[in-house]
Structures are given as C-alpha cells and as structure tokens.
Chains A and B, each alone.
Chain A
Amino acid sequence: EPEVTQTPSHQVTQMGQEVILRCVPISNHLYFYWYRQILGQKVEFLVSFYNNEISEKSEIFDDQFSVERPDGSNFTLKIRSTKLEDSAMYFCASSPTGGAVREQFFGPGTRLTVL
C-alpha cells in the first residue's frame, strides 16, 4: 500500500542553523501539507501546497519557513534559522484531492530537536 515517507526520522541541530525536512508524498496525490506537534501538545497546521504554490498558510509559517517541491516527488520544509521553540514533531501529509474532499495521508514524522 502506498504511503507517505519522511526523512530523517530525527534531526538534531543548533539554534540558528538551517534545516530541511523531506517528505515523499503518495505518487498520484496533488495536495501536500506540513503540520507540527510540540511534545504533548496539539497539532498545528503550517502550510498547504498545490500546483507548485502555497494555497494556505498559518501564522506560524513566517519568513523563516519555506516549502518546495523540487523534483516532482519530494516535498520539503526548510527552516532558515532554527529557534529553540521550533523543536517539535513535523508531519507531512498528502491528499489526492483538495477542495471539497480532503482525506489526508500522513507520514511518520520527523522529530526536530533544536539545541
């Protein structure tokens, strides 16, 4: 069964460093999402992406964040200059459709630790 994959599973970085989190969505899916979840807390939406453009983004998704689909298979989240409060689990998701129906399929997550 097709699944969303994410790499790395755990990333440790120093404050101020750039990190890139990678996701490979399910191959025929059209919509892509990033979420994060600080340990023990609720899930927070970051951004949705369709047709090589951001379609929605939250207040969290400021200039420090960017997304890209560089090669038609990967979907990346870049954090330009990490802060301690960026430490969280980051989940990628993809969906075959958007608009009215948005069942999403989630990857296993990348745990980001900022020291």
Chain B
Amino acid sequence: ELKVEQNPLFLSMQEGKNYTIYCNYSTTSDRLYWYRQDPGKSLESLFVLLSNGAVKQEGRLMASLDTKARLSTLHITAAVHDLSATYFCAVGNQFYFGTGTSLTVIP
C-alpha cells in the first residue's frame, strides 16, 4: 500500500505570511491531487498534478510535484483568513490520502 505523509499536521500562521505544506509518498506515482476541506463540509478539488515538475497556481495557492523525490508542495502566499481549512493531498489511481494539514490563519 502506498503511504502518504503530510507535514505539518497543524499549522497556525499569521495573515500576510508565506508557508509551505509538504506531501511525501512512498512509491512511484504519476498523479497527485490536492483538496481543501472546511470544517464540517465536503471536499473541494484544488489541483491535479500529472507530471514531474508540474506547477499549478490558483490565487494564493501554488502546488508543485517532484516525482523523483516523491514530494509535492502546496505553497501559500500572503495568507488570508479565508484560507483556513484542512488541506489533503492524495496520490495514485486509488487516491491514497495523506493525514491532512489543518491550517489556521490568524489576523
């Protein structure tokens, strides 16, 4: 079974700051997904990354994939309160999920 680790598990950051969430996985895969989940809500697809070196950006979020290092990053630029949520990565055809990173942006 493919193992997926995210860190940090909890992240508290001030508005306006930058930070990066990491997603490491144990075996080769050519696809990686990022999702957002607000408390008590469903999931929202953020990014699909399909190849080594892929980079996608949407607003203050940018995701990248390094398949050789088996690593994806989700970079947050100039955080705002609305970004507070739990962020999950998932890997492979069977969508192995990471444990999630709970992000709180403090004014």
Count chain B residues whose beta carbon lies closer than 8 angstroms to a beta carbon of A. Answer: 22
Decide: A45 near B42, CB < 8 A? Known: A102-B31, A102-B33, A103-B48: no
A58 at the B interface (CB under 8 A)? yes
CB-CB < 8 A to B97: which residues of A? 42-45
A102 close to B42 (CB less than 8 A): no
Question: Closest residue to B44 on the A side, CB-wise?
Answer: A106
CB-CB < 8 A to B50: which residues of A? 100-101
Question: Shortest Cβ distance from A64 into chain B, in angstroms?
Answer: 18
Question: Shortest Cβ distance from B43 into chain A, in angstroms?
Answer: 5
Question: Shortest Cβ distance from A45 into chain B, in angstroms?
Answer: 4
B43 close to A106 (CB less than 8 A): yes
B22 at the A interface (CB under 8 A)? no
Question: Shortest Cβ distance from B5 into chain A, in angstroms?
Answer: 11
Using CB atoms and an 8 Å cutoff, list the residues of chain B in contact with chain A. Answer: 1, 31, 33, 35, 37, 41-45, 48, 50, 88, 90, 93-100
